[in-house]
Chains A and B, each alone.
Chain A
Amino acid sequence: MSAVIKPKTDPILSVINIEVIYDHVILVLKGVSLEVLDGQIVALLGANGAGKTTTLKAISNLLRAERGEVTKGMILYRGERIDRSSPAELVKRGICQVMEGRHCFQHLTVEENLLTGAYTRGYIASGVREELEKVYRYFPRLKERRHAQSGYTSGGEQQMTAIGRALMARPRMILLDEPSMGLAPQLVEEIFEIVRELNRKEGVSFLLAEQNTNIALRYADYGYILENGRVVMDGEGRELAENEDVKEFYLGFSSAGRRSFRDVKSYRRRKRWL
């Protein structure tokens, strides 16, 4: 067992006031800033359509394939601007995205899926086999299923394949989009446990977008809440979980007992984030 890596204080990733426009007209992010310190797990929370996925895709530069564009602000990775780098360059430099809905290569076997993750590392280099074994150590289930066609494996196995595939590139930072989507609660727990382990043992930083605020805040060191393309709140994971407004809006319970629907509505109107 390797020693626990203490979070250092310098940011591995800084997103500074970015604005994202799709198709030249649709303004999706209206000035989002956030920071991930080296060795941290940071959660990006918010409802459907708040801009979580767009933020991640802006960082990994997958936006351009969807006609999106960062029009303002900048993104720094270890102090260097990366908003003009291609996704392949970013993977080489250590930022990998695991997309929402897994996106495994359905007709490839589990092992072939993992191997594609090492594409940027060139021709079957010495390290790739070892890397594969390491992924299998974290996800023993993938080893059992290594020769199965990915499209026929379960949702949990596909999520593991997707994370494992990203690990094959030896990333320093993983952008994990909605890992809990469509999975049974037990599996979600399992996946998050592995994320924490990867974070502690391998020193991989995570920025994860989640709708499941409850579990995300249990594992995250820090959290940002997005609403309508803006960061409306941020804080330490525990602090956010205790916050009354977060409880009210995202954790689905309130401290003041049951309220009528009408009360909630007016409450929401008053407490609009700005």
Chain B
Amino acid sequence: MPTQVAFFVEVLAGGLLAGVMYALVALGFVLIYKASGVFNFAQGSMVFFAALTFVSLTERGWNFWLALAVTLVVMVVLGVVIERTVLRPLVNQPQITLFMATIGLTFVLEGLSQLIWGSQPHGLELGIADVPIDWLSQKLNINISQFDIFAAFVAGALVAVLAVFFQKTRIGRALRAVADDHQAALAVGIPLQHIWAIVWAVAGFVALVAGLMWGVRNGVQYALTFTALKALPVLLIGGFESIPGAIIGGLIIGATEKLAEVYVGPMFGGGIESWFAYVVALLFLLVRPEGLYGEKHIDRV
């Protein structure tokens, strides 16, 4: 393969795979926004909290699976507690109030996790090294990290599990019902508060998965909370209410970001990767304000 093409493929694939990582974070936002109309600013700190809890447990000599299970339980409990203490008292309040509450929650969670586990950064290993796959680099001269591939598989599996949960189970159906129409859900006897607690618990689970993946990539440290900000352009592109949207949005952001950095960056002297995603998102806002997969409002004429 000519070097130019190989290089392009490498950049594109790297971008798409990075996009999957963004999508992982964006998923957590989508879940909560869909079910309760709350934009959960604290999703990033939940990611941080999950990763830090897991890494601290393993560093204390816990078995991998045990640590994973315990962290999962912690995240589920955390989700339920947040629903009880933050959201339930604010039910029926304007959206902006709830949004502000989640901003407050962000700082509480950040403080809490560092209070419990300390503030030094940790490295995280899942047994899959972040190194290029050998035969790809030898045969085609393309460097793609095997961990990226692994992360993509994990993300795919997670989405599949969520899809089955939403489509096939009684609770999943109730979740979609609540997302569609709160009032009607109440009227048929679906207890909104249970459903919200479940959604927060699921979002906690998604945060754990995202936290592990990002933890391996960048280390488990305070900066992990900023991954939430990376999810914003993904949501603007994909739409706040759509799981497929989050995935597609993530891929678009990941790919354009990397391609722009490599091919457009040099014109500006480089360093455009960190903000280019927002430019793309803004352009999208002008053309399609509801995002690619934003909920279609069904209007009968």
Contact = CB atoms under 8 A, between A and B. Distances in A.
Interface of A: 60, 62, 65, 67, 86-88, 90-92, 96-99, 103-108, 112-113, 115-117, 119-120, 123-124, 149, 151-152, 154-155, 165-166, 169
Contact of B190 (A60, A67, A98, A119): A119
Interface of B: 92, 170, 173-174, 176-177, 179-191, 295, 298, 300
The 7 closest A-B pairs by CB, nearest first: A91-B189, A151-B298, A103-B184, A120-B189, A105-B180, A88-B189, A88-B191
A116 B187 contact: no
A90 to B, nearest CB: 7
B124 to A, nearest CB: 38
Contacts of B183: 62, 65, 99, 103
Given A99-B183, A152-B298, A155-B300, A108 B177 contact: yes
Contacts of B92: 65, 67
A164 to B, nearest CB: 11
B190 A88 contact: yes
B170 A123 contact: yes
B244 to A, nearest CB: 13
Given A65-B92, A106-B298, A107-B180, A87 B174 contact: no
A213 B174 CA distance: 36
A166 B188 contact: yes
17 contacts: A62-B183, A65-B182, A88-B191, A92-B189, A103-B184, A105-B181, A106-B180, A108-B173, A108-B180, A115-B170, A116-B188, A116-B190, A119-B170, A119-B189, A119-B190, A152-B298, A165-B188
A116 B179 CA distance: 13
Contact of A117 (B179, B186, B188): B188
A146 B279 CA distance: 44
B6 to A, nearest CB: 44
A97 to B, nearest CB: 5
Contacts of B182: 65
Contacts of B298: 106-107, 149, 151-152
Nearest to A152: B298
A169 B188 contact: yes
Given A65-B183, A116-B185, A151-B300, 13 more contacts: A87-B187, A88-B189, A88-B191, A91-B187, A97-B187, A99-B184, A103-B181, A107-B298, A108-B173, A108-B180, A116-B190, A119-B174, A165-B188
B176 A105 contact: yes
Given A65-B182, A105-B180, A105-B181, A115 B173 contact: yes
